[in-house]
Amino acid sequence: MKTSTVRRGVAIFLVLDGLLAMWPGLLPFNRIYPLIFGLPFVMAWLTFLMLLVGIALFVVALADRAAGRPSS
Amino acid sequence: MERWHFIALVIGAYLLVTLSIGLAAGRKSTKSVQGFVAGDRDFGLLVFYFVTGASVYSAFAFLGGPGWAYSRGAAAFYILTYGALGMAPWYWVGPRVAHLGRRFGFVTQAQLITGRFPSRFLSVLIAVLTLGAFIPYITLQMRGAGIVIEAVTEGHVPLALGAALAYGIVIIYVLTSGVTAVGWTNTFQGMFMLVIAWTLGLYLPFHLYGGIGPMFERIAAERPELLTVPGLAANGEAWTWGGYTTAILVSIIGLQMWPHLFMKAFTAKNDDIIRKTAILFPTFQLFLVPVFLIGFAGVLFAEAPPTADFILPFMVLKTELPALVVGLFCAGALSASMSTGDALLHGAASVTVEDGIGLFIPLTDGQRRALMRVLIVVVGAVAYVFALDDQGSLVALLLGSYGIICQLAPTVLAALYWRRATTAGALAGLLSGSAAAVFFFLNGELRPLDLHEGVLGLLVHIPVLIVVSLMTRPQSPEHISGFLESPPVEGSA
């Protein structure tokens, strides 16, 4: 896949990630039960979205590297 | 030996270790402004990761985070969202900034902006905004340090002495070793605060409720309003979705615009380190989970601390933890405070010299470095005087400054990415946006939908930037090309 395609995909993903963490995207996930690892559902969901940001950037880095681009 | 003696010993040992790391750090860096402000552009991944994490998360996160979870519940979750998302654009913007720094010799944010938009007024304006935002910020860090020391030594070491001790050490190592000391001490302090946060955050729920799940089940039964977003406002009533959502937006936009964080892009050894830090940042940020657990553990506690921000020291003292743990907890809180405070003091002095005074009085490299040292002491002293004074308004001032700091974002992005932007446009946008943010900060009741004043400022800033830029003469292509070219592929890195 081309680096620019990956980059655009990830940029869109990051925007979605943000929208799902605030109004109105968060509404369907805004509940206490079921508890996940003991945490209220919404807290676990927001933690999960946060970790996805790192993973998404990691994907860009892999694509950059595969394309022999800036990553050294 | 009394209990507080032992606790004081642990704290003393921690301060001593920090001081020796800070002093040892500076032996290698050059005696130039570039060495003092940008660490000779030689920070590796480990240091860069912890500098970023520890500078972002201050005493405000370590003490305020549990305080928010305790008093406002799920409102605190907005911090979970903005950190990683605020850092993500830096994957792309950071290397570009670093590249321009290497190419043109920039060491501050204003130098980068005025490199593209030449204007002494703009430079001074940014320096003034920076100082205005930093002094309350440093003051809060000092108060945080003093409060914790006073609390755990049962008042034997008063706030004034505790703050003076902790920040006396900060000033000594920053004066000696500049940003290199900030880097290495933050690495130590960052690790320390992570370990302490995780240990206490897991320990307290198990100790008090028999587990994390049982704790939340009890809170869900007795105080369910705390467990769903947007939680509660500061006055204890339900917070609004507008307030919650725009708090996230402003923080995402503003995060990297804080000059002490922005400037760190100039310290990285290579671009890859900046990218890797953006990728790894969520792993640092994960420590907010135990930080919130600490706050939630206090919700059903029978007694209440004097104010919400005291919940962490209050619980640590009330749950009869061993003295060693109390001492280490205190050192963790000091780490959080000092690792942000040192970057702020250093940033305030660098910016004042490089972007303010240095533009009007010709100074040699050695004189600029000397002047920065003097200013570090002056800014520290001013903040200390404020810190002795109990002013709740400082917190409000800090929150208000976020609205102004995020006005730097359109200016920076225009400098780096928009060919047609002009100096007049950048200036008009920054002035009008900041004025709007200040206006709505002072007249909170006029804000539509409880939107954050920073967002309202941006709604003024961006159109003004665009319209004024389009109405004025475009910059010459030769001037722009240096800024808009992509960084070259790195051979050496």
Please, which pLDDT band fits residue B492 given cuts at 50, 70 and 90?
Answer: very low
Assess B44–A contact: CB distance below 8 Å, yes or no.
Answer: no
Element of type H or E holding B367: helix B365-387
* A39 interfaces chain B, CB cutoff of 8 Å: yes
Closest Cβ–Cβ partner in B95, B220, B289 for A70: B95
pLDDT range class, residue B493, cuts 50, 70, 90: very low
Partner-chain contact A32 B227, CB within 8 Å:
yes
- Tell whether B244 is within 8 A of chain A (Cβ): yes
Categorize the per-residue pLDDT at B322 as very low, low, confident or very high, splitting at 50, 70 and 90: confident
As given in the structure block, the two tokens for residue B334 are: 């000091």
Instruction: Say how far residue B472 (Cα) sits from the centre of its chain.
Output: 36
How far, CA to CA in Å, does B304 sit from each of B70, B71, B170, B205, B440? 10, 10, 33, 17, 34
Flag whether pLDDT at B307 surpasses 80: no
Whether the Cβ atoms of residue A42 and residue A30 lie closer than 8 Å to each other? yes
Rounded Cα distance, B123 and B142, in Å: 28
Contact A46 B281 (CB under 8 A): no
Long-range contacts of B466-469 (CB under 8 A, 24+ apart): B466/B425, B467/B425, B468/B422, B468/B424, B468/B425, B468/B428, B468/B429, B469/B414, B469/B418, B469/B420, B469/B421, B469/B422, B469/B424, B469/B425, B469/B426
Which three-class secondary structure string do you get for B131-168? HHHHHHHHHHHHHHHHHHHHHHCCCCCCHHHHHHHHHH
Segment among B61-65, B107-111, B474-478 with least mean pLDDT:
B61-65
Binary contact (B88, A56; C-beta < 8 A): yes
Choosing among B45, B56, B80, which should be mutated to test the A contact, i.e. which has the most A CBs within 10 A? Answer: B80
Helix %, strand %, coil % for chain A, to 5? 65, 5, 35
**pLDDT value, residue B459:** 96
Q: Which residues of B touch A39 (CB under 8 A)?
A: 212, 216, 289
Please list every residue in chain B whose beta carbon sits closer than 8 Å to the beta carbon of residue A61: 91, 275-276, 279
Summarised one tens digit per residue, pLDDT across range B10-52 is 999 999 998 998 888 877 667 777 777 777 787 888 888 888 8
The 3-state DSSP class for residue B478 equals: helix
Position B456 pLDDT exceeds 50: yes
Instruction: Report the C-alpha gap between B357 and B394 in whole angstroms.
Output: 27
Task: Check if the beta carbon of residue B77 is closer than 8 Å to that of residue B229.
Answer: yes
- Distance in Å, alpha carbon of B186 to nearest chain A alpha carbon: 22
| Chain B contact set for A17 (CB, 8 A) | 85
Which residues in chain A touch residue B83, judged by CB atoms under 8 angstroms apart?
A: 50
Give the mutation candidate from A23, A41, A62, A69 for the B interface (greatest B CB count, under 10 A).
Answer: A23
Q: What is the pLDDT of residue B395?
A: 65
Cβ–Cβ of A54/B271 closer than 8 Å? Answer: no
The reported pLDDT for the residue numbered B241 is: 93
Among A20, A49, A57, the residue to mutate for chain B (most B Cβ within 10 A): A57
Cβ within 8 Å, pair B285-A50:
yes
Residue B271, token pair as written in the block: 């671009």
Distance CA B347, CA B51 (A): 13
Of B205, B229, B487, the CB nearest to A70: B487
Structure tokens at B257: 């615009």
Whole-number pLDDT of residue A72: 38
All residues at 6 or more sequence positions from B334 whose CB lies less than 8 Å from its CB, including other chains: B11, B14, B15, B145, B148, B149, B166
- What pLDDT is attached to residue B141? 87
Percent of chain B with pLDDT over 70: 95
Interface mutation target, options B49, B102, B223, B228, chain A, most CBs of A under 10 Å: B228
- Residue B76 — very low, low, confident or very high, per pLDDT cuts 50/70/90? very high
B384 touches B163 (CB < 8 A) = yes
B61 versus B156: the higher-pLDDT residue is B156
The Cα B460–Cα B443 span in angstroms is 16
User: What's the rounded Cα separation, in Å, for the pair A56 and B88?
Assistant: 9
DSSP B77: G
In chain B, what residues touch A30 (CB-CB under 8 Å)?
A: 228-229
Residues from chain B contacting residue A26 (CB–CB below 8 Å) = 229
C-alpha distance from residue B345 to each of B16, B65, B400, B491 (Å): 20, 23, 20, 35
Q: Which tokens hold the place of B285?
A: 């940020």
Q: Give the pLDDT confidence score for residue A71 in this predicted structure.
A: 43
pLDDT confidence of residue A70:
53
What is the rounded end-to-end Cα distance, in angstroms, of chain B?
A: 55
CA dist A30 and A63 (Å) reads 34
pLDDT of B340-381, one tens digit each? Answer: 888 899 899 999 999 999 889 888 888 998 999 999 999 999
Three-class SS of residue B43?
A: strand
Rounded CA separation B217/B180 (Å): 47
More confident residue, B4 or B42: B4
Contact A23 B276 (CB under 8 A): no
The rounded Cα B91 to chain-centroid distance in angstroms is: 19
pLDDT confidence tier of residue A32, bands split at 50, 70 and 90 = very high
Q: What is the pLDDT of residue B415?
A: 94
**A50–B282 CB contact, under 8 Å:** yes
Could you tell me if A61 lies within 8 Å of chain B, comparing CB atoms? Answer: yes
Output phi, psi for B390, to 5 deg. -80, 100
Query: B117 to each of B36, B177, B474, B486, how far by Cα in Å?
Result: 26, 32, 11, 19
Three-state helix/strand/coil letters over B199-246: HHHHHHHHHHHCCHHHHHHHHHHHCHHHCCCCCECCCCCECCHHHHHH
When CB atoms are compared, the residue of B270, B281, B487 closest to A54 is B281
Q: Residue B474 above 90 pLDDT? A: yes
Say yes or no for a CB contact (<8 Å) between B81 and A35.
no
Which amino acid is located at B320 in the chain? E
| pLDDT tens digits, B185-208 | 888 888 888 888 899 899 889 988
Higher per-residue pLDDT: B296 or B40: B296
* Contact status of A54 with chain B (Cβ, < 8 Å): yes
Which residues from chain B sit within 8 angstroms of residue A22, using beta carbons? 81, 244-245, 248-249
Give how far B102 is from chain A: nearest CA, Å: 16
Q: Which residues of A touch B248 (CB under 8 A)?
A: 18, 21-22
Q: How far is B242 from chain A (nearest CA, A)?
A: 8
Task: Spell out the residues 6+ positions from residue B343 whose beta carbon is closer than 8 angstroms to its own.
Answer: B51, B55, B182, B186, B260, B261, B264
Cβ(B170)–Cβ(B342) below 8 Å: yes
Per the model's pLDDT, the better-predicted residue between B190 and A43 turns out to be A43
B386 vs A: CB within 8 A: no
The predicted structure's pLDDT at residue B491: 40
pLDDT band, very low/low/confident/very high, at B432 (cuts 50, 70, 90): very high
d(CA B59, CA B146): 11
Q: What is the CA radius of gyration of chain A?
A: 15
pLDDT at B418 > cutoff 80: yes
CA distance B328 to chain A (A): 26
Lowest-pLDDT range, A38-47, A59-68, B157-166, B411-420?
A: A59-68
Q: Is the peptide bond before A24 cis (omega within 30 degrees of 0)?
A: yes
Q: Give the closest residue to B226 by CA, choosing from B57, B411, B77.
A: B77
Instruction: Give the chain B residue whose CA is nearest to the CA of A72.
Output: B493
More reliable by pLDDT, B125 or B488:
B125
pLDDT in tens, B125-151: 999 988 888 888 888 889 888 888 888
The pLDDT value given to residue B245: 93
Q: What's the gap between Cα B72 and its chain centre? A: 22
Question: What residues contact residue A57 under an 8 Å CB cut-off, 6+ apart?
Answer: A10, B88, B91, B275, B278, B279
| DSSP type of residue A30 | -
Comparing B391 with B293, the larger pLDDT belongs to: B293
Q: Do A18 and B276 touch (CB under 8 A)?
A: no
Task: Fill in the DSSP letter of residue B368.
Answer: H
